[in-house]
Structure 1
Amino acid sequence: MARNTTDINQSSLLRYCSSNVSGFPLSPTHFNLSQFGHGQSNPTYLMEVGSNGSAVKRYVLRKKPPGELLASAHAVEREFLVLQALGNQTKVPVPKVFCLCNDATVIGTPFYIMEYLEGRIFIDPKLPGISPESRRAIYRETAKTLAALHSANVDSIGLGNYGRHNDYCKRQIERWAKQYVASTSEGKPASNPKMFALIDWLRHHIPSEDSSGATAGLVHGDFRIDNLVFHPTEDRVIGVLDWELSTLGNQMCDVAYICMSYIKDIGNDKIREGMERSGLPEGIPPLPEYLAEYCSLMGRKWPVAEWKFYIAFSLFRGASIYAGVYSRWVKGNASGGERARNTEVLANGLIDAAWEFVERKFVLPQQPPPGVNAKEFSKELVKGNEMQGIQNEGRFVPSEKVLVLRNKITKFMEEHIYPMEEEFYKLAQSDARWTVHPAEEKLKELAKKEGLWNLWIPVDSAARAKKILYDGSNNDLSADANNLLLGAGLTNLEYGYLCETLGRSVWAPQIFNCGAPDTGNMEVLLRNGNKEQMQQWLIPLLEGTIRSGFAMTEPQVASSDATNIECSIKRQGDSYIINGRKWWTSGAMDPRCRVLIVMGKTDFNAPRHKQQSMILVDTQTPGVHVKRPLMVFGFDDAPHGHAEVIFDNVRVPATNILMGEGRGFEIAQARLGPGRMHHCMRLIGAAERGMQLMVQRALSRKAFGKFIAQHGSFVSDIAKCRIELEQTRLLVLEAADQLDRYGNKKARGIISMAKVAAPNMALKVLDMAMQVHGAAGLSSDTVLAHLWATARTLRIADGPDEVHLVTIGKLELQRAKL
């Protein structure tokens, strides 16, 4: 479809073409210029020209849009260059180009002229009105064309310098992130906090890539079916159009982009389910078969581990493009005219779609789309996997990124933390035990430099915080605040693999700023804090310059039922007055502790679960009395400590309330999901440390004439420990996975199972390790007694076993009633 246009000086254009386009009529008597209606990028026009007695000739003109443009966008010069190189020296089907005009005085912006291809363009990837046989042939042809494009030797055709060879995905993320910020800087469209969280996720999941990699080469950048011209009657491609985004880089990005129609249907009004879920029209191959076709032609494997990144990246880039189109529409220079009005909705829809795909359990559909035979689909799924030399995704197989981080943490602990444990213990048992060892602060700075800081931060929580902290005075947060909120972009499941390693030492979590109760308190501020609360307390906690405590448990009531607490928080003008007695306030003894999250009751007459509120209290506020440290099996955990704290008419600003009155129980329940899982994850690591020390001892000490490891009873017992440890690890990973996929409320059953199983398993393993060590195992000469005390504490600290068992049992009974 084309529409008439009057925004180009046609006389000037004719004069230029007559002089620069081979075969162009010198004195045309007929000339018509109309703009193609499809597309939202560089304006594209059909030129029809003829003279007396000659047939009408058709050409295509591509020009830059008018007005102010985003940096590096709409480079028609690059389009011309790549079309010229491919058309002259390869078999990649592209239209012939005639000339490039960089003189903006001719028609207002630079442009180039190319041949008009008489053929078919399919706008809808479902190919309505096409026979099943042709649909299959058309899709095979797209895979074949893409493979031909990707096989081009860029050096031999003069495109060796067409782009940088390394870090394509990294550079693309930053480019499109920058353009998104530029497009939304004036508020039209409004920036979406989920987009910034998506950018963070992509930054943390970039696949390994370099110029020598199997996926490096020429990239089209916008390879989709409606940018292909098919022969008028044959099912073959005669031209690949729209090379605006072409460069050198990671070719799997092209593969993901052409597969987008399987994932999502991008309509004119909103984003709908793609063909893999809404139904494949007969003849269109299932996604596994299509991927296998391309990989077979290229002789490469499909990168299953990075597929989430490639799809999410494609959706992210599309969202940034649509945001730019909408911004141009607001300014009045969008090439798509009024069709661009709805692109803000499409941009936000693509952002949501990206997160939906990231959160999928499987990257390939495990069930056949509607209308596809289940047996045949199963064959194609297997074929799609086997042809690329892969197996079905493992449930709990750490990604390459997680493995790299885990190896870095392991190396850091071996080189810096384990050698310092004895020094830390000496200070903790001395008269100066309530001071911080100087080496701790030095190790924290080193952990920051090595990118091992704030690894626990959830992406969604960070996105909320960024949205609130963003002040609108510039295009982004300060670099420092943004970096602090980056974390590692991990899911709970991914963090679990790292948290397990941290659990091998009682000192490790705080070195990486991943220790309780700080992580739980920071999570509360990330999810529930306002801008002022974040600026005052969250940022310093993320920096590690202060620490915090969580004050909920009370000595005079059974605090396992949080509705029993009696601490009062009464409103008085612009303040709240706090009175109460708390204990087991972990962290309150630390000299760096500057803020407490206190749970109390603001309304004793409200419904049972609406009486409680949470409030932030500066530890230096008059009336806050840290009365004494409490011992846990003889350990006071200095310099961290577990304190009894008296609140005597403590006056704090009313703005310190979290979320508002009556929201305390809600905040507490949400806080306990990830926090409980972190403890469970660390307990796996504690048990592994116990296994390691136990085996080393058994192989080096003799009793009754032979090594302990040679006694049959030991061999049997250690085997049982290993079985229980592996069973519990799988349960904890499953709980973390469900927490990611379903949230705290829906995953509460399996979280409770993990909470019961992990400390009990760790106690059994550590108890046996202590037994093998004899008297030394009960002393402070090894870490075992401290790890055991921590594990035993956690059977109460995050809720008694009995409470979790009630949750598990009730859910089981509910299922039985269904």
Structure 2
Amino acid sequence: MAKLTSELLRPVDPAHALDEAALLRYAAANVPGFPGPAPALALTQFGHGQSNPTYCIQASAPGGGIRRYVLRKKPPGVILQSAHAVEREYQVLKALGSHTDVPVPKVYCLCTDANVIGTPFYIMEYMEGIIYPDSMLPGVAPSKRRAIYFSTAKTLAAIHRVDVNAIGLQKYGRRDNYCKRQVERWEKQYLASTGEGKPARYQRMLDLARWLKENVPEEDSSAGAGTGLVHGDFRADNLVFHPTEDRVIGVIDWELSTLGNQMCDVAYSCLPYIIDATLSERTSYGGFQHTGIPDGIPQLEEYLSVYCSFSARPWPAANWKFYVAFSLFRGASIYAGVYHRWTMGNASGGERAKFAGRIANTMVDCACDFINREHVLQKQPSMGFQVSAAPWQEFGREQEGSISTKDQGKFVPSEKVMHLRKKLMKFIEDHIYPMESEFYKLAQSTSRWTIHPEEETLKALAKKEGLWNLFIPLDSAARARKLLFEDGSLVSPGSSNDLLLGAGLTNLEYGYLCEIMGRSVWAPQIFNCAAPDTGNMEVLLRYGTKEQQKQWLVPLLEGKIRSGFAMTEPQVASSDATNIECSISRQGDFYVINGRKWWTSGAMDPRCKILILMGKTDFSAPKHKQQSMILVDINTPGVQIKRPLLVFGFDDAPHGHAEIVFENVRVPVTNILLGEGRGFEIAQVREARSWKTTSLHEANRGSRTRNGSDGREGLK
């Protein structure tokens, strides 16, 4: 039966008791936002799983409020070398959570000091969701079973699509000769867990090891396609599903993860079709192909087709026999270790572990029978199962037409992007289009330099729906998360604040959303994705100090203020920024700014509070080292907004483009960005991405005339 995460909790096994006082001291000092002072601590243990002891920490603050966390630690006693590596679990979870859309729990801290609670451990977020410990999914409707299995296949594909070089995991393991090394490793683990006073060895296991060594696929010897991040224990009961939706919200138990041959993960996830390895006493351990596939669960061939489609991997028939046999072999070695720990009294799964020895031998028998079959998988998937042509189509079609592989080639939006596109379109149709005439009416009135109150209401709704700050790229979000959340000094951690950092999209992925937002001149600002704020926030994300981010970035991310960008000047050809004449002169603890800027986008907006200004700090330096960027509070004495400028006859109220005079404007030296003479470094990064995304917004406005819009936005 499906179980909520909370239903898996039980009292802590006396053999796994912890020093709660020491744990409390450590958590209070190292977990951001941990309740305090002196919270009440309640500790329970997860009864599911046979590996590292895992606990739920419930901390209650004296004034009310409860926070729950998960602690995962190495088991006590003597353990095999390299086993139960919680340090590696923490490393991979940290990288995936910070840089990818793979659903994983957020990790808070890692403790390698065994003196704290006896063994190394890490603390991560608690996820209340559903876990399916039985791969047959008893009690689940057939339609949901199908969706659950497809979501499982897609999640595995998402893991295998991760670019390990881009997220700092390029040295997480060796890609080449993975199967060869794994066979040798698990054979050694098996030998270490059996014989010589330990549980008896099974001769067929040794025979199976020999067969595997002799039949390692040739593709395993290279580090090319088909190699990458490997979970190592990918199965349904290591996935946390959403409480009400058939999608994975967390992949857990990463202790066996590494780099290597990813088809091993695929075969391992397919073992329910071959064998039922549930820890229980029974007369038969046959899988779906022996007992019959439960109604709704896809055929093995169909499950593999979904995986291959979403991972862009070839059909695995050529070496399927080896990968399944290896998965059974490895599972047998793991269960032999579980059984050995049970005989010593330190298996985390309790009495169920006593069946592990019998299941280990059953898995060996199953593997030997499997490799002796003449046929184990069709050479090609049946036509009815070939979904690779357009796997994204099931996630929704736009009203005006569908996306096709012919049109998109390699640049097909992911499931995540399609979901966001659908939400954006619905939000714009339901909330923004109906208000456009009101927004335009105000923008053309004598009160045009004010903000319509409904705009702020829609911004709050967009933030609530997760359609907020979508422009923030992966790397900037990772840096911001560390600065804003991890030390708890700028923003209190929490799900609402996590929305401030966007959806973790690449430039290409965000481009698909720009195309949607660009259909309304008002949409980008309602989603907090409008220029010049996007470029200015990226500058602060990448180059701002913690103090600058606290003062200006946080309110920009929250949508409480807006900003302007002051670079262009009326007397020179400012498209070449080496021509600018605005001076930034150091005088003690201040910089004094003098100059005239125009086309300063956003400066007319009544919510504009901060300007990023580009000027020259050293007129004698090399041509591209004269310029600097500095933060200027728009209310600083000497900042004079002269007039709004027209774009093809329109002033673009209420945001506009201003001509501004800076006359002896004094700002603190701490307002400089990155350092003197580094303005071009910042400008190249800012302008490149801002130009691309703004162009996508603008290009799509001209294609639509609605509610009083005459298409002029597309002419800028």
Normalised TM-score (structure 2): 0.53
- Counterpart in the other structure of 1:577: 592
Secondary structure of the structure 2 residue equivalent to 1:412: helix
User: Does residue 652 in structure 1 map to residue 667 in structure 2?
Assistant: yes
SS in 1 for 2:663: strand
Q: What is the DSSP-based 3-state SS (H/G/I as helix, E as strand, rest coil) of the residue aligned with 2:417?
A: helix
Equivalence for 1:181: 109
- Aligned residues of 1:462 and 1:486 also touching (Cα < 8 A): yes
Residue 307 of structure 2: aligned partner: 303
Letter in 1 for 2:307: P
1:4-38 Cα shifts (integer Å, max 9, x gaps): xxxxxxxxxxxxxxxxxxxxxxxxxxxxxxxxxxx
**Aligned counterpart in structure 1 of residue 510 of structure 2, from 478, 495, 506:** 495
- Measured against aligned partners, the alpha-carbon deviations of 1:338-389 in whole angstroms (never above 9, x if no partner) come to xxxxxxxxxxxxxxxxxxxxxxxxxxxxxxxxxxxxxxxxxx9995898962
Shift of 1:462: 1.3
Correspondence 1:51-90 to 2 at 5 A: 78-79=49-50
2-side partners of 1:635 and 1:185: how far apart? 65
How many Å apart are 1:456 and its aligned residue?
1.0
Aligned partner of 1:619: which letter?
I
Q: Which of 632, 642, 653 is the matching residue for 2:647?
A: 632
**Kept after mapping to 1: 8 A contact 2:610/2:631:** yes
Which sits farther off after the overlay, 587-596 or 680-689?
Answer: 680-689
Q: C-alpha displacement at 1:259, in angstroms?
A: 13
How far apart in 1 are the matches of 2:505 and 2:240? 23
2:575 to 555, 560, 564: 560
Cα contact 2:233–2:268 (8 A) shared by 1: no
Distance 1:559 1:443, change over 3 A: same
* Partner residue in 2 for 1:233: 207
Match for 1:531 among 528, 546, 550?
A: 546
**Equivalent residue letter for 2:462:** A
Instruction: Give yes or no for contact 2:235–2:268 (8 Å, CA) kept in 1.
Output: no
Structure 2 residue 237 is the aligned partner of structure 1 residue 247:
yes
C-alpha distance after superposition, 1:532-571 (max 9, x if no partner): 1111000101111110000000000000101000000011
What is the rounded CA distance, in whole Å, between the counterparts of 2:310 and 2:269 in structure 1?
14
Amino acid at match of 2:237: T
1:585-596 map, 5 Å? 585-596=600-611
1:783 aligns with 2:709: yes
Which amino acid is the alignment partner of residue 559 of structure 1?
S
Please state whether the residue corresponding to 1:411 is helix, strand or coil: helix
Q: What displacement does 1:258 show?
A: 13
Work out the CA distance in 1 between the residues paired with 2:258 and 2:238. Answer: 26
Matched position secondary structure for 2:306: coil
Separation in structure 2 between the aligned mates of residue 260 and residue 381 of structure 1, nearest angstrom = 33
Picking from 628, 641, 648, the partner of 2:656 is 641
Displacement of 1:415 after TM fit? Answer: 1.9
Q: Is 1:615–2:630 an aligned residue pair?
A: yes
In 2 relative to 1, CA 685–615 (structure 1 residues): closer, same or farther, beyond 3 Å?
Answer: same
Q: TM-score, normalised by structure 1?
A: 0.47
Alpha-carbon shift at residue 454 of structure 1 (Å): 1.0
Equivalence for 1:675: 690
Deviation per residue, 1:734-755 (Å, 9 max, x gap): xxxxxxxxxxxxxxxxxxxxxx
1:628 is paired with a residue whose SS is: strand
* Residue 467 of structure 1: aligned partner: 482
Q: Distance in 2 between matches of 1:588 and 1:502?
A: 22
Asked whether the 8 Å contact 1:79–1:246 carries over to 2, the reply is: no
One-letter identity of the residue aligned with 1:792? L
2:323 aligned with 1:389: no
The amino acid across from 1:303 in the alignment is: Y
Aligned residue for 1:213? 147
Q: Residues 640 and 661 of structure 2 are in contact (CA less than 8 Å); yes or no, is this contact kept in structure 1?
A: yes
Give distance in 2, aligned partners of 1:522 and 1:426.
30
Instruction: Report the aligned-residue RMSD.
Output: 5.2
1:521 counterpart letter in structure 2: N
Distance 1:654 1:634 in 2: 39
On the 8 A contact 1:547/1:587 being kept in 2, the answer is: yes
Where 1:233 maps in the other structure, the secondary structure is helix
CA positional deviation for 1:683? 3.3
Alignment of 1:439 with 2:462, yes or no, is no
Q: Relative contact order, CA 8 A, sep 6+: which one is greater? A: 2
Deviations, residues 471-505 of structure 1 (Å, cap 9, x unaligned)? 74689953378424331111111111111111111
622 and 389 in structure 1: CA distance in 2 versus 1, 3 angstrom threshold: same
User: Partner of 2:715 in structure 1?
Assistant: 792
CA shift in 2, pair 1:427/1:171, >3 Å: closer
Q: Contact (CA 8 Å) 2:484, 2:491: kept in 1 or not?
A: no
Distance 1:288 1:184, change over 3 A: closer
> 1:543-558 counterparts in 2 under 5 A?
543-558=558-573
Q: 1:259 to 1:112 in 2, by over 3 A?
A: closer
Q: Report how far residue 601 of structure 1 moved.
A: 0.4
Alpha-carbon shift at residue 182 of structure 1 (Å): 4.8
The letter of the residue matching 2:149 is T
- CA distance in 2 between counterparts of 1:579 and 1:471 reads 39
C-alpha change, 1:218 and 1:630, in structure 2 (3 Å) is closer
TM-superposed deviation, 1:431: 1.1
Structure with greater helix percent: 1
Count of matched residue pairs: 446
Letter in 2 for 1:232: L
Is the 1:630–1:642 contact (alpha carbons within 8 Å) kept by the matching residues of 2?
A: yes
The alpha carbon displacement at 1:247 in A equals 3.4
Residues 582 and 596, structure 2, Cα contact 8 Å, conserved in 1 = yes
- Aligned counterparts of 1:236 and 1:507: Cα–Cα separation in 2: 67
Q: CA deviation at 1:624?
A: 0.3
CA distance in 2, matches of 1:538, 1:669: 20
Report the residue type matching 1:562 in the other structure: A
The amino acid across from 2:386 in the alignment is: G
| Partners of 2:112 and 2:420 in 1: CA distance | 34
Partner Cα separation in structure 1 for residue 591 and residue 490 of structure 2: 37
SS of aligned partner of 1:418: helix
Aligned amino acid, residue 538 of structure 2: E
The one-letter code of the counterpart of 2:109 is V
Identity value in percent: 52
**Structure-1 separation of matches of 2:668 and 2:266:** 59
Corresponding residue for residue 716 of structure 1: none
Superimposed CA distance per residue, residues 431-481 of structure 1 (whole angstroms, 9 cap, x where no aligned partner): 111111111111111111222111111121011122233574689953378
CA contact (8 A) 1:292 1:387 kept: no
Matches within 5 A, 1:27-66: none
SS of the equivalent of 1:625 reads strand
State the alpha-carbon separation in 2 of the partners of residues 623 and 474 from structure 1: 33
Structure ID, larger Rg: 1
| C-alpha contact (below 8 Å) 1:550/1:585 kept by paired residues | yes
1:211 offset after TM fit, Å?
5.7
